Structure 1
Amino acid sequence: MVATSPLELPTLTVSDPVRRKKILERLSPLILTPGQQQKIHDIFLDEMRLGLAAKPEKESSLLMANTFIPELPDGTENGEYLALDLGGTHFRVIYAHMKNGKFDEEIVDYYHVPSEKRLGPGEELFDFLAECIANFIQKRQLGGRNFQLGFTFSFPMIQKSLDVGILVSWTKSFNCPGVVGEDAVRMLNDAIKRQGGLDITVTAILNDTTGTLVMGAYLDKRCAMGMILGTGCNGCYIEKVERIEKWLGKHKESEVIIDIEWGSFGDNGVLDFIRTQWDDAVDNQSLLVHSYTFEKYFAGKYLGDLFREVLLTLAKEGLFCSGGIDILNTHGAITATNVSNIESDSFKGVTDETKAVFDNLNLIYDDDDLHIALYVAGILSYRGVLLVSLLSGILLERMKHDHCTIAIDGSLFQHHPRFRPLMEKFISDTAPGRSFDLRLAHDGSGKGAALTASIAERLKKRSSR
């Protein structure tokens, strides 16, 4: 087997030319044509326009939320801050000490959110969070001082200010009644007061994507885009205030971070022209059907099942594996990590990882089956990189910065061997001549939240003068 480049469109090598032709024709909907790419480009620009409009003629699938963060770390950050990072079944409480714009000390504790708190009354969830903060303060001997807290709340929300975030909908494994439509900051501040003995004020709310941009700017002042590319996918960028029609009133700020919430791009049907039967199958098996359309095309939570569904179809049609295919009916049997490992085989010119995955699944296979799996993993990954790169390039063209560092966090970007190199190529193709680089900005949801609390403090001091 010959090693291939991550930049090349995958090719299929099997011994039977008739079988090869059938597979290529069957999977052709997964390869986006230049015309489809241009259509995605135009639709995304229009969805952004609708999302920023004061009175759009129709609803956009993009939230285009104002984060109310008008500036980024500038090197003057000093003092002690707390951060709370909530977005999954585990959350973190973080203490950060900053000196002359740098992290001087950081303490992190992890807490598990039991299912009864994730599904029970919202007030009880926030009381639980406040209890954990109190536990952290006591355990780490941080009592007797005032703290400002940055709250990473990784759920769709509409912000009214830097310290007001109205929950739009729960996602993932959370569904607490009494929170949708309410301000998560107010609920957490109220819970902290009920807890008693704490001198803590939540001064900023953000999501992990925004935190990644803020963390990216800490690492490189030229950072103007943030992205999560892991279990899910989202992007944010710096927008000119004059372009935000729905932000009414007078504002001193010239720019602000906009949280696009592009994971839901296409929830209104505008991307149905690229949708395949395998995308439908994955969507129908998901917790939130007909939502988060864009990220379901490639994000880590779904990539393994997309791969499995394609192989299942080929197996049913007699084009893949001679036996043991019942496992391919099982949701979650193949993970994004498996797909990443199979992709690494392609670039090394081997099939070791692919064999390991197949052996674990007890599939009966030959060399051609291994090559088919390599091809399927390749074209699914290629499609995903192309989609996320199209959107990234559009933002680069929109911002027109001399140079833009794109801060990215997430396991797909970190570990999938095709994503980074191919993103660099595709973004360059989408935004020719635009100078950019991709930078891993780990822990935007933690350190980014602490940095945002410091920015909030700076803004408050400035406005009180």
Structure 2
Amino acid sequence: MPTTTSNPNVVDEIIKSFQLPDDSLTVITQKILEAFKLGTDGNPNGLAMTPTFVTSVPNGTEKGTFLTLDFESAAFRVSQVKLDGKRNLSSADKIVDLSAQDKTGEATAFFDLVADSVRGFLAENGIQGSTSNPLPLGVTFGFPVQKTGIKNAKLAAWTKGFSVQNAVGKDVSTLLQDALDRKKIPVKCVSVVNDTAAIFLAQSYLSGGCVLAAIFGVGTNGAFPEEIAKIKKLHNTPSLSTTGKMILNTEWGAFDNQASISNRNVLPRTPYDNKLHRESLRPGFQSFEKMVSWMYLGEIARNIFVFLIDQSPPALFGGKSTPALNAQFGFDSYYLTLVEQANSLTDIKAVLVEHLGLKSEDISDADASIVRAVSIAVTTRSARLAACAVAAGLVYRGHLALGPRAPAGPKLPVAVYGELMLLYPQFQTRLHEALTAITGKGTQERVDFIQVKDGGALGAALSAFEATTIQK
């Protein structure tokens, strides 16, 4: 059995550094609200608040057949989605896995791969178009973009482990259309929508109600509708009507890496966060995302474990490590869920043996308890920070207020998606508890988190519907 003897306070201090008292949640929420307002005012110190140019909220009566592309962190999906106008849909789908080379190679090669996959999908499903009547294609693209139209989306930056070369600053729909045209594929890209806006559209189609959409997965982001008159003035969109609403993509994953001093260093960073930032593909960017999202939580925990292993005398595993623990992102966030849901310390040890290559004799009961405590601390902080973003969105739109009691009113449907919502049951519970701490008693009864599965394809189809019927 390993000897794990060190300063008994070292683990307690780490756990304490991840705790966020309720008053801190309120301060962070206020700062996110400020960043929303600055961004909507066109101030570069605020969040992007990117217009989607989707101005029609679906009501379930939409009909039509559309090709779609849905880009995710490790794959993309080609689909044909049929909307029946009665809140139902049917689809045929093909998932294409992406290699590390695909995600870091040249843009031409990347979009050629996408175009080839579309052509293969059409052939496999007997779907035909023509040069004179190309098939309409909607795209869900979950990366920061600058929008000037429903299909015009200039890539602002890659996130989620992507760094495809010679794509930043270029229009995504143009890159894709050029590849389709080169290969003489009779498909026309008619819309590009963010993944968060896509689940907003999907939920609106499926149930007829949605006030906010939030993704807590590989990345994190939020979207909600805003008055077009306000967006028109601030984002120089003269072609838009001055009435109605448009879905805004907040890009809240970038909170706290703005130029404004008032919005910098608001988040409670630890040395383990700083290490992650420094070693990431884009150091200093996506600050909020790197403390909240599924992609990074396991790496934060791994940084803590390595720190404890390296203590003298060692504070974890008797100072022993493994290639997995020594490798960046070698501790997957999924292991956090396995650890927390384990029924006993013996079960936690089994997780560490299976997934990290540790020997059972190198893991003491104290070690297993430390791993559980760290896992809970990292994911609880994530959920509480996530609640700040959700609260800010609901307060910004006037649905709730900061304070001891939520105002009376109807249910507030919030569309959610992502690994943390799908695979980590405790995450949603903690998010709700923190949201109640920020916006008061009664919040839990009013805010209804609705998981929207496969919303990327449906949302892309609905944006294509708008592009070909409403904005045609």
Range class of TM-score, shorter chain:
0.7 to 0.9
- The answer (yes or no) to whether the contact 1:90–1:113 under 8 Å persists in 2 is yes
Deviations 1:33-88 (A, max 9, x none): 3443232122111111221113x2x523x221111112222222112111012344
Deviates more, 1:335-344 or 1:314-323: 314-323
What's the counterpart of residue 6 of structure 1? none
Aligned-residue offset at 1:144:
4.1
TM-score using structure 1 length = 0.86
Q: What code does the residue aligned with 1:396 have?
A: L
What's the counterpart of residue 302 of structure 2? 308
What's the counterpart of residue 272 of structure 2? 278
Aligned-residue offset at 1:203:
1.5
For residues 329 and 229 of structure 1, what CA distance do their matches in structure 2 show? 27
For residues 312 and 176 of structure 1, what CA distance do their matches in structure 2 show? 31
Q: Unaligned stretches of 5+ in structure 1?
A: 1-14
2:201 aligns to what SS in structure 1?
Answer: helix
Aligned-residue offset at 1:117:
5.3
What's the counterpart of residue 100 of structure 1? 85
What's the counterpart of residue 251 of structure 1? 241
For residues 80 and 236 of structure 1, what CA distance do their matches in structure 2 show? 25
Are 1:325 and 2:321 matched, yes or no? yes
Q: What code does the residue aligned with 1:314 have?
A: L
- The answer (yes or no) to whether the contact 2:76–2:95 under 8 Å persists in 1 is yes
What's the counterpart of residue 334 of structure 1? 331
For residues 26 and 195 of structure 1, what CA distance do their matches in structure 2 show? 55
Deviations 1:194-249 (A, max 9, x none): 33251x32211012111111112123222121122112211111223344352334
Q: What code does the residue aligned with 1:161 have?
A: G
What's the counterpart of residue 182 of structure 1? 170
Aligned-residue offset at 1:396:
1.3
Distance 1:115 1:310, change over 3 A: closer
Matches within 5 A, 1:186-265: 186-196=174-184, 198=186, 200-244=187-231, 245-248=233-236, 249=238, 251-265=241-255
Are 1:406 and 2:417 matched, yes or no? no
2:318 aligns to what SS in structure 1?
Answer: coil
2:221 aligns to what SS in structure 1?
Answer: strand
Question: How many percent of aligned residue pairs carry the same amino acid?
Answer: 25
Give the alignment partner of residue 391 of structure 1, picking from 389, 392, 410. Answer: 389
Aligned-residue offset at 1:285:
2.5
2:425 aligns to what SS in structure 1?
Answer: coil
Aligned-residue offset at 1:358:
2.8
For residues 178 and 315 of structure 1, what CA distance do their matches in structure 2 show? 41
Aligned-residue offset at 1:114:
5.7
1:418 aligns to what SS in structure 2?
Answer: helix
2:169 aligns to what SS in structure 1?
Answer: coil
Are 1:439 and 2:429 matched, yes or no? no
Are 1:419 and 2:466 matched, yes or no? no
- The answer (yes or no) to whether the contact 1:73–1:455 under 8 Å persists in 2 is no
1:231 aligns to what SS in structure 2?
Answer: coil
Deviates more, 1:383-392 or 1:407-416: 407-416
Give the alignment partner of residue 284 of structure 2, picking from 259, 282, 290. Answer: 290
For residues 299 and 197 of structure 1, what CA distance do their matches in structure 2 show? 37
Are 1:450 and 2:436 matched, yes or no? no
Superposition CA RMSD, Å = 2.6
Q: Unaligned stretches of 5+ in structure 2?
A: 400-409
For residues 328 and 100 of structure 2, what CA distance do their matches in structure 1 show? 22
Aligned-residue offset at 1:448:
1.5
Deviations 1:360-396 (A, max 9, x none): 3325232222222211111111111000011101211
Deviations 1:440-461 (A, max 9, x none): 1011221211122113233125
1:110 aligns to what SS in structure 2?
Answer: strand
**Number of residue pairs aligned between Structure 1 and Structure 2:** 439
Deviates more, 1:354-363 or 1:335-344: 354-363
Aligned-residue offset at 1:351:
2.4
Q: What code does the residue aligned with 2:315 have?
A: L
- The answer (yes or no) to whether the contact 1:217–1:224 under 8 Å persists in 2 is no
Deviates more, 1:321-330 or 1:219-228: 321-330
- The answer (yes or no) to whether the contact 2:22–2:437 under 8 Å persists in 1 is no
Q: What code does the residue aligned with 2:245 have?
A: E
For residues 316 and 162 of structure 2, what CA distance do their matches in structure 1 show? 38
TM-score using structure 2 length = 0.85
Give the alignment partner of residue 132 of structure 1, picking from 106, 111, 117. Answer: 117
1:378 aligns to what SS in structure 2?
Answer: helix
- The answer (yes or no) to whether the contact 2:136–2:188 under 8 Å persists in 1 is yes
For residues 202 and 223 of structure 2, what CA distance do their matches in structure 1 show? 13
